[in-house]
Structure 1
Amino acid sequence: MSSPQIITADQLPTLDPKEVIMSLRFAFGALATGRAVQPTQTVLDLDGGGDIISYPALDLDAGVYAVKLSPYIPRVDGALITAWTLIFDVTSGKPLALIDSKALTTLRTAATTALAVDLLAKPDANTLSVVGAGPVARAHVDYLRAVRPFSEIRMHVRSARELDLPGVEIVQGVETALDADVIALCTSAAGAVLDATHAHPAALITSISTNAPDAHEIDPALLPSLEIYSDYRTSAAAVPDFVAAAALGWNSKNILGDLPELVAGTAPAPSRTRTAFFRSIGLGIEDAAIAGLVTRMLGLITSPPR
């Protein structure tokens, strides 16, 4: 059996946000129909506070099995974070590619948020606040633009800085971040960055997962006042926000829907009478979707159009 092709960061093709989002939509749709499998991720602790997370997933409709390995190694001069995805053709069992997935992880995180925004934000959402200014925050701007024609986009930063983001207003501080139809939290915070109760009832707040211990971007005590959605209901028990809220009496059964249910149309839409909150943790099915797209673009696998 031939060895997988190694695809380094500089060999990755340019990805169209709409194609990435569509690949994720198909993958979560496959989860809804039982044509994909999302096992629980595995975390192995390393000495010194680091870990290695394994993200497996199987998508029969796409014809791929993938597993991403992501080491997190603390260092005095800053943590070292890498990510590599090994992808197999499930028909032949052939390992197709070993892909440097650090940049792809940023894009699939933004694409997952964008899919949630497309499914949960009000159709006429016109204003967007992005809290954070790192690579994940900047990717969110590109990907959220692919699902809503925002006429006003603000990026909220902790300290004054210049960013080359056409059409984006850079705002110091988060005081006005909640005055938007969609509020995308893209920080590495381990504590609340804003008071979600001040958002408009028809607004949608999104939040991502990071390597920060007990990472959360809103106060878990506020979850009962929000309409909660997640990327995958089965993985919700590992979300730090939900763990902390459960200790206060909140029940994860109060999650209204996850992405497979939303794609399938079996989850209720937000009522617009209480602020909606979407929390993603990051899943192997997302890595499989974007890695599968890369391998198809490079001609390493052919799969029937979906």
Structure 2
Amino acid sequence: MKLLDAEPTVDLAIDALRAALLGGLDPDADPARSVVGVPAGQLLLMPASWAGFTGVKVASVAPGNPARGLPRIQGHYLLLDGATLSPLALLDGVAITSVRTAAVSAVAAGALAEPDASRLVVFGTGPQAHSHVAALRAVRPVRELVVVGRDPARTQDFADKYGELSARAGTPADVADADLVACCTTARTPLFDGALLPEHATVVAVGSHEPDAREVDDTTARRATVVVETTAAALREAGDVVQAVRSGALAEPDLVPLAELVRGRAHATGGPRLFKSVGMAWEDLVVAAATYQAALGEGS
């Protein structure tokens, strides 16, 4: 087994995830994420198998770490040979998570967003926010960026990093002019008024995998075509979906599985589009395997 220093690129991750879905990968085959509460937070265990590989991500979530100057999420990915279960490589779990989350959003946005979508509003200023800017730029011609954050200095610093774009700090009301909206926060209540969304807008929400936390409101869920990784995972973990179903703003049959969208068996109807991601083990495995193969010069 080798400690793999290579990290996945956004383009590699997007291509690998889309190819896996087109190649028949069944996201519903994923076992449910194991979440164990510990005094400092949570431990997450996420195993999966696909295309000759098996793997497992072990991650920790420590909400108090940012105040200590430490990452909120830490972890490693153990990649195994699928036939023998012999360890092949140990990868940086945080790098895998950061890139695969944004890459899954980009796969969805590539099927949902208007071809000329150029105005992106990002909620959040952390690693996922940066990853989503890169990933969404890989699938759409983003030229304008608005960043909405809690800390004015961090928000402006984030915008300043994108000098090649027309970038600025903004407010939740900026979604009224958005083509794309990326919600990449730890918020537990909605970030913006869904009534403001243009009919053509595409929203990706990735910040939560807990049923009592959400980033988008009932209005967004009611107006939108709602795409999820799997119906079962969304109804188990996605507060944006769970709470909207509970209120009657959304019905379970309305949920569109991502694989059906990518394979062309489902399409967005009128109004905004929402992709709600909770993060699944198959995504980590696909990106880890593609990274491993690229490092060995084997292709994807």
Give SS of 2:15's match.
Answer: helix
Residue in structure 2 matched with residue 17 of structure 1 by the alignment: 10
User: Partners of 2:178 and 2:276 in 1: how far apart?
Assistant: 18
Q: Which amino acid in structure 1 is aligned with residue 114 of structure 2? A: K
Residue in structure 1 matched with residue 291 of structure 2 by the alignment: 294
**Mapped contact 2:121–2:180 kept (Cα < 8 A):** yes
**Mapped contact 1:192–1:217 kept (Cα < 8 A):** yes
Residues 206-215 or 279-288, more deviating = 206-215
User: Partners of 1:36 and 1:6 in 2: how far apart?
Assistant: 30
Residue in structure 2 matched with residue 192 of structure 1 by the alignment: 190
Distance change >3 Å, CA 221–CA 172, structure 1 → 2: closer
Residues 99-108 or 150-159, more deviating = 150-159
**Mapped contact 2:211–2:242 kept (Cα < 8 A):** no
Deviation at 1:253, TM superposition (A): 1.9
Give SS of 1:175's match.
Answer: helix
Is 1:109 equivalent to 2:101 in the alignment? yes
**Mapped contact 2:187–2:214 kept (Cα < 8 A):** yes
Is 1:89 equivalent to 2:81 in the alignment? yes
Deviation at 1:211, TM superposition (A): 6.8
Deviation at 1:18, TM superposition (A): 1.8
Residue in structure 2 matched with residue 157 of structure 1 by the alignment: 149
User: Partners of 2:217 and 2:28 in 1: how far apart?
Assistant: 33
**Mapped contact 1:27–1:286 kept (Cα < 8 A):** no
Aligned with 2:223 (options 214, 222, 225): 225
Deviation at 1:212, TM superposition (A): 7.5
Deviation at 1:295, TM superposition (A): 1.0
1:223-248 C-alpha deviation (Å, 9 max, x unpaired): 22322111222311121122222322
Residue in structure 1 matched with residue 259 of structure 2 by the alignment: 260
Residues 290-299 or 139-148, more deviating = 290-299
Deviation at 1:193, TM superposition (A): 0.8
**Mapped contact 1:88–1:95 kept (Cα < 8 A):** yes
User: Partners of 2:180 and 2:287 in 1: how far apart?
Assistant: 24
Map residues 2-13 of structure 1 onto 2, 5 A cutoff: 4-7=1-4, 11-13=5-7
Q: Which amino acid in structure 2 is aligned with residue 51 of structure 1? A: Q
User: Partners of 1:166 and 1:21 in 2: how far apart?
Assistant: 25
Cα RMSD, aligned residues only:
2.4
Distance change >3 Å, CA 246–CA 19, structure 1 → 2: same
1:243-295 C-alpha deviation (Å, 9 max, x unpaired): 2223223422211x22211121111x222x31111100001111011111221
User: Partners of 1:5 and 1:129 in 2: how far apart?
Assistant: 40
User: Partners of 2:86 and 2:232 in 1: how far apart?
Assistant: 29
**Mapped contact 2:177–2:198 kept (Cα < 8 A):** yes
User: Partners of 1:89 and 1:75 in 2: how far apart?
Assistant: 36
Distance change >3 Å, CA 167–CA 214, structure 1 → 2: farther
Residue in structure 2 matched with residue 251 of structure 1 by the alignment: 251
User: Partners of 2:58 and 2:261 in 1: how far apart?
Assistant: 28
Deviation at 1:144, TM superposition (A): 0.8
Deviation at 1:34, TM superposition (A): 4.7
Deviation at 1:113, TM superposition (A): 0.8
Residue in structure 1 matched with residue 37 of structure 2 by the alignment: 45
**Mapped contact 2:189–2:213 kept (Cα < 8 A):** yes
Aligned with 2:202 (options 182, 201, 204): 204
Q: Which amino acid in structure 1 is aligned with residue 115 of structure 2? A: P
Residues 157-166 or 111-120, more deviating = 157-166
User: Partners of 2:162 and 2:143 in 1: how far apart?
Assistant: 14
Unaligned runs of 5+ in 1: none
User: Partners of 2:246 and 2:295 in 1: how far apart?
Assistant: 47
Q: Give the number of aligned pairs.
A: 289
User: Partners of 1:44 and 1:101 in 2: how far apart?
Assistant: 18
